[in-house]
Structure 1
Amino acid sequence: MKTETNSTTGGANMARRSFLRYAGAGAAAVAVLGASSCRTGHFDLPANENNIDIGMGDIGILNYAYALEQLEAAFYLQVIATPYSGISSIETSYLTDIRDHEVLHRDFFKAALGSGAIGSLTTDFSSINFSDRTSVLGAAKLLEDTGVTAYDGAGYLIQSADYLTIAGKIVSVEARHAALISNLIKSGSFADTDQVDANGLNKSATIAQVLAGANGFLKTKVYASNFNYPKV
């Protein structure tokens, strides 16, 4: 099944321009840093041309987020392009809003990273039945929960306060998505124990754990083999 990757509504296009203007100063700084990282060889790819390495430092973390946002955007674009059987008007509205958010996030990271961005990823959604509500919402929950645990697990690695602020604003939106999707599947499960621990804190996951799961939906595999974790 062909996955749509570029179509959004006119409102989403306007929102994208506003979002990029809002984050413009940070985006320019990231692009400069990305160009510097490229010159130092941080974006050398593994021998397999289908593999992508996220790189190192803050640029690596931003590319990590960019990869996940590409995956989520592609998924929701397909969900809206081919709605599942029996989808209600309110579910269509919810999922369209989520699609627009994910496209904004994807495009922000691409613009911010500039020449330091990893390439466009090729998705593999063959395990998802887009005509079936249970299959679609189950995949949406997996992607949203993974996204939140990914941001929570990698936040401490971000060195720049500006980048950390942007990541915090994005992960809070991803958490709203995750809560909504969970509640669509089972009423009252918006903060269930599969994601929130006994201390009331969201669970987190390592980069390696997240990419291992994300790669199941990608033909282009993403790795962090060159990432330089800080010494503790």
Structure 2
Amino acid sequence: MKPTRHIVADLETLDTQPSAVILTAGLIAVEISDAGVTVLSRWYRHLEFFFQQDQPGRTQSENTWEWWGKQSDPAIWQAFEQRPRLSLWLAMHSLAAWLEIHPYPIWGNGSDFDNATLQDAFKQCGLRWPYWRNRCLRSTKGLVQQLAPDVKLPEFPEHLTPHVAIDDAEHEAYLLAALLEAITRAPVVETHIHIPAPLIELSLTADQVEELMALAPFGAGTLIPIGAQS
């Protein structure tokens, strides 16, 4: 498999809409090859969110707060308690600079969430999100599993914590590697279709038929005279 470079993004938020309050953001740049996954760089930030002015205009939902109440203590600590924390403006400008020096496709686990939320936050901070680099891990996974139902995908690593943004991003990088391997190693099936040349009926004299016969052997696409006239 030809080595390729990618970025995988994961967010922890207080809503499921692109306008969500962002608690943490984790992005990992990797190179994927036959040798496996090589981590090139990590970007992980905790954001201020305690007051409305920390992320003005961004949204929260009761369902998401309830969901957080069911998560592990380490995940909750990283999302809500870990410090230091940055303002949304500073975090997004830091991320923009990091993306400039890592110009690779950006994969989110869902075309309508991670990348969409970062794009919304970028716009709020006066930045332009590189939308042309967006890639959807969930869509790719669904396609591969549909075409190759027996493909083996990696389990969540024991040394990582689910719903910690940078850990989720790392796990998804291993998942991406498995999907790309399944795609590149899929057998190529060649299909040959023979389409015969059409017969065209012409009305020719005997002399014209003899002239045509003398030109070249008949093959596909050759005009075959039928019903020659004497």
By the TM > 0.5 criterion, same fold?
Answer: no
| Structure holding more helix per residue | 1
State which structure, 1 or 2, has the greater radius of gyration over its C-alpha atoms: 2
TM-score, length-scaled by structure 2: 0.30
Relative contact order higher in (CA < 8 Å, ≥ 6 apart): 1
